[in-house]
């Protein structure tokens, strides 16, 4: 009888010990998954893209220092907005790739590629373009980061396709992502032409 009593006590102890160990492992696993989720979220923050882009009335030509009225540019039928930062050397060095991409569109008079850059000074931006880029498209110097601040764009460099009303149609760089390059071509064609092949307006 005494042996049976001790046997029952031992069995109960082992049972509760196993339950405790199992519960502890589940708690640790849940904590690890939660931390992994938070870590992943921290590494990949959600990107936010504005619906419409607001432009300033004037920006500075990076090469000449002249103040340029942007109205004729931003009222164009289609715009591709390229926001740059001279802190990103690769972005500046990749500028010639935009020349190739622009050359893929025969009706360039209806598509405006707008390069707007941030830099410590205009002279530094001019130096970076001259030494590293050799691009023939105009680049504008946004000394106050008007476009970024006004539109709450915190991730620069960034690229967006805009319609005539400056609504964002597509976001992402077509020169870095082949799938986006195809999407740019398709969306630009849809903005320019109806399904029957006639001009959209």
pLDDT in tens, 166-194: 999 999 999 999 999 999 999 999 998 76
Pairing of strands 78-85, 67-69: unpaired
| Pair of tokens at residue 139 | 């680049």
Confidence band, pLDDT 50/70/90 cuts, at residue 69: very high
pTM for this entry: 0.73
Q: What tokens were used for 186?
A: 């398709």
Which of the residue ranges 32-36, 50-54, 64-68 would you say has the lowest mean pLDDT? 32-36
Stated as kind and residue range, the H or E segment containing 60 is strand 58-61
Residue 140's contacts (CB-CB under 8 Å, 6 or more residues apart) are 59, 60, 61, 62, 68, 70, 114, 115, 116, 117
Q: What would the pLDDT profile of 88-144 be if each residue is shown by its tens digit?
A: 888 888 888 999 999 999 877 889 999 999 999 999 999 988 887 778 889 999 999
């Amino acid at each position: 009888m005494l042996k049976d009593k001790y046997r029952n006590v031992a069995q109960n102890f082992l049972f509760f010990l196993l339950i405790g160990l199992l519960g502890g492992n589940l708690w640790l696993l849940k904590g690890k998954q939660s931390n992994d989720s938070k870590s992943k979220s921290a590494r990949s923050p959600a990107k936010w893209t504005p619906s419409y882009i607001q432009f300033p009335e004037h920006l500075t030509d990076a090469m000449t220092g002249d103040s340029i009225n942007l109205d004729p540019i931003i009222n164009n039928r289609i715009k591709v907005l390229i926001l740059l930062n001279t802190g990103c050397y690769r972005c500046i060095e990749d500028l010639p790739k935009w020349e190739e991409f622009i050359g893929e569109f025969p009706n360039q008079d209806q598509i405006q590629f707008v390069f707007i850059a941030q830099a410590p000074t205009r002279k530094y931006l001019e130096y970076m373009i001259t030494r590293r880029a050799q691009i023939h498209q105009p680049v504008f110097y946004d000394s106050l980061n008007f476009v970024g601040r006004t539109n709450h764009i915190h991730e620069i460099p960034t690229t967006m396709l805009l319609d005539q009303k400056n609504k964002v149609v597509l976001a992402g760089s077509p020169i870095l992502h082949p799938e986006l390059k195809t999407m740019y071509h398709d969306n630009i064609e849809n903005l320019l032409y109806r399904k029957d092949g006639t001009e959209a307006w």
